[in-house]
Amino acid sequence: MYYGLYKNIRHSAWQCLIDFNIDRLPVDVLKIARTAGVRVIRDTSVNVLQPNENGKSFFDGTNWIIVYNDNNPTELSRFTVAHELGHIFLGHDLCLGHFPQAKEVSTKPKSEQQADMFALRLLCPACVLWGLDLHSADEIARYCRVESDISITRARRMKELYKRGKFLTDPTEKQLYKNFEEYITKEKTFKR
């Protein structure tokens, strides 16, 4: 993926957290959706998802709606809602809100990969993980309430970011960190 596109997705996730006044982990994806006017509906209420679908989003002519598979574990449902918010906030043409599910990243449409990237950065913002001094996948999973495959991916990336040590170099990232600063201080005091 091109760095410019990655950077835009990362900044979009940061800006979303800032705009919706998120200041603690785990990120409240339902608060983001509610504040943005996006309806989030359990599939058991509407039965529109196919058996292999975790969620979908669509525009009904007036509002955005996200339907998620509420039979999934909470951690997967949170990621699904964040992923669908990624489609909406990144301005993807949703083709009636449905993309075929694909297990392999290389076979997923680019918009699906981008929504995954957005969701990962929304739920596990690197500067916050850094501020909390989180390194392991288990720590990330616990704080961010994400599935182990997501936390493993994030822990791998954080290892690279820790090596570089270039946190808080971007004005948007600094603002995001400032929003979380009180929470980070409280959590670090509690961890000791």
- What integer pLDDT is reported at residue 1 of this predicted model? 42
> Averaged in consecutive runs of 10 residues, what is the pLDDT profile of the chain (192 residues)?
70 97 98 97 96 92 95 98 96 57 59 95 98 98 98 97 95 98 94 64
> Where in the chain are the domains?
3-191
- What integer pLDDT is reported at residue 192 of this predicted model? 58
- What integer pLDDT is reported at residue 125 of this predicted model? 98
| Cα–Cα distance for residue pair 172/65, rounded to 1 Å | 28
- What integer pLDDT is reported at residue 104 of this predicted model? 43
| Cα–Cα distance for residue pair 9/119, rounded to 1 Å | 10
- What integer pLDDT is reported at residue 7 of this predicted model? 87
CB 65 within 8 A of CB 33: no
- What integer pLDDT is reported at residue 116 of this predicted model? 96
The single-letter code of the amino acid at 19 is: D
- What integer pLDDT is reported at residue 4 of this predicted model? 56
- What integer pLDDT is reported at residue 5 of this predicted model? 66
Residue 67 in 3-state DSSP? strand
pTM for the whole structure: 0.90
Query: Which two three-digit tokens encode residue 152?
Result: 């493993």
- What integer pLDDT is reported at residue 156 of this predicted model? 97
